[in-house]
Amino acid sequence: MSDRVVLAYSGGLDTSVAIGWIAEQTGSEVVAVAVDLGQGGEDLETIRERALACGAVDAVVADAREEFAQEYCLPALQANALYMDRYPLVSALSRPVIVKHLAEAAKYHGATTVAHGCTGKGNDQVRFEVGIGALAPDLKVLAPVRDFAWTREKAIVWAQERDLPIDVDKKSPYSVDQNVWGRAVETGFLEDIWNAPIEEVYSYTCDPAEPRDADELVITFDRGVPVAIDGETVTVLQAIQELNRRAGAQGVGRLDMVEDRLVGIKSREIYEAPGAIALITAHQELESVTVERDLARFKRQVEQRWGELVYDGLWFSPLKDALDAFIEQTQQHVTGEVRVVLHGGRAVVSGRRSEESLYDFNLATYDEGDSFDQSLAKGFVQLWGLPSKIAAKRDLNK
């Protein structure tokens, strides 16, 4: 049997052309692997048939939406993961899922190599190849677009010469990557960072400036997991999908940012993540009620590092595994309900309640029923400020 190459297959021009190109250049058989992460568009069977028509000896199609939501989006939610305090890791979260399915397919089909369609300027090449190295270190990696300087024009000529069953005439001015956690848009006129995005860039969200009534909902969490919306039980995937719909209708989750790529360049990205932003907003608020102060302070440091690791392609790493264990421990009391108002492009918390709450009304109130012993505060303040006071006296005497 010939050597086999497992290709991460999207169904688009580049990866469709890659099937025949890899076969011709290496003499290997190509197995295409397509993974549904809730990106919409064509159904899996259509993609599978296209891969076979383009020359793949086999095509593996996997519906990984539930897996993606439960095993990748949920940990990101519990980590309140926002790279550079803004980006909810839309693309970064999806790559390790695809890598996992590539490694499994390579083992099943006896492949020696995996291939991807990433360029040399982005983060995804790192995420794919470092992930493969962690899960299947004996596999080789092939990256035709990066390593052989492919252009779209070359790919079109290749497809036309071989009469491949793909549309090579339509070209979007943007590069789009999307899944159930969100949508990322770049290139085209957006590369001039002075240019404002136009409405046609967006798909998951409506214009937040359009007048409309606010939408109020209640999200129920159990140990950091969203389990109900307005009292209706949901899975994690259903929670994300429902909030994509309702928060997206209010224009929530639009981001326009210049981010620091791992390869060392800055890149302008437009993101839409209505469900992710609404869920993270609610989850953060419930944590503020149920997580002890010092634990919460330290968790915020962990959240930042967790997000950086995932963004940098280190999902399968010892540090990421250790931080996962810490974050899981922090969620044991994150149970309760959060009321959120969606309106005008914002998700605003208007109420929170929990049987695990650390908020004590009688300690917090300034009205009758106050149980806080204010007489204790004078000595506390004096002792708390004593080191600074002693240092100030020393410095004034110099």
Above 90 in pLDDT, residue 185? yes
Q: Which residue is catalytic, options 4, 14, 267, 346?
A: 14
Residue range 187-206: mean pLDDT, rounded: 95
Active site residue 260: no
- Which residues are known binding-site members for L-citrulline? 87, 123, 127, 175, 259, 271
Instruction: Note whether 214 and 308 are within 8 A (CB).
Output: no
Q: What is the pLDDT of residue 230?
A: 98
**Domains of the chain and any CATH numbers:** 4-171 (3.40.50.620), 176-291+333-353 (3.90.1260.10)
User: 165 or 348: whose pLDDT is higher?
Assistant: 348
Q: Choosing from 175, 288, 317, 357, which is the catalytic residue?
A: 175
Per annotation, catalytic residue among 4, 94, 124, 312: 124
Catalytic residue status for 14: yes
Distance of CA 45 to the CA centre of its chain: 26
- pLDDT at position 1: 58
The active-site residue out of 4, 65, 95, 352 is 95
Which residues participate in the annotated binding site? 8-16, 87, 117, 119, 123-124, 127, 175, 259, 271
Residues in binding site for L-aspartate: 119, 123-124
- pLDDT tens track for 270-326: 999 999 999 999 999 999 999 999 999 999 999 999 999 999 999 999 999 999 999
Annotated catalytic, 371? no
pLDDT higher than threshold 90 for residue 168: no
What is residue 374's predicted lDDT score, i.e. its pLDDT?
Answer: 87
Task: Name the pLDDT band for 106 (thresholds 50, 70, 90).
Answer: very high
For the cut 60, the answer to whether the pLDDT of residue 397 exceeds it is yes
Of 34, 6, 245, which Cα lies nearest the Cα of 110? 6
In three state form, how does the secondary structure of the chain look? CCCEEEEECCCCHHHHHHHHHHHHHHCCEEEEEEEECCCCCCCHHHHHHHHHHCCCCEEEEEECHHHHHHHHHHHHHHCCCCECCCECCHHHHHHHHHHHHHHHHHHHHCCCEEECCCCCCCCHHHHHHHHHHHHCCCCEEECHHHHCCCCHHHHHHHHHHCCCCCCCCCCCCCEEEEECCEEEEECHHHHCCCCCCCHHHCCCCCCCCCCCCCEEEEEEEECCEEEEECCEECCHHHHHHHHHHHHHHCCCCEEEEEEECCCCCEEEEEEECHHHHHHHHHHHHHHHHHCCHHHHHHHHHHHHHHHHHHHCCCCCCHHHHHHHHHHHHHCCCCCEEEEEEEECCEEEEEEEECCCCCCCHHHHCCCCCCCCCCHHHHHHHHHHCHHHHHHHHHHHCC
The structure tokens 């002890």 sit at 292
Angle (deg, nearest 10), helices 375-384 and 386-396: 50
Q: How confident is the model at residue 91 (pLDDT cuts 50, 70, 90)?
A: very high
Residue 368 has pLDDT above 90, yes or no: no
Cα–Cα distance, 54 to 43 (Å, whole number): 17
pTM of the model: 0.94
Q: Mean pLDDT across the stretch 142-161?
A: 81
Lowest mean pLDDT across 42-56, 152-166, 255-269, 361-375: 152-166
The whole-number pLDDT of residue 6 equals 97
pLDDT at 221: 98
The residue to which tokens 């969203």 are assigned: 226
Binding site membership for ATP: which residues? 8-16, 117
pLDDT category of residue 187 using cuts at 50, 70 and 90 = confident
Q: Which two tokens stand for residue 249?
A: 């209708």
User: Does the pLDDT of residue 161 top 90, yes or no?
Assistant: no
Q: State yes or no: is 175 an active-site residue.
A: yes
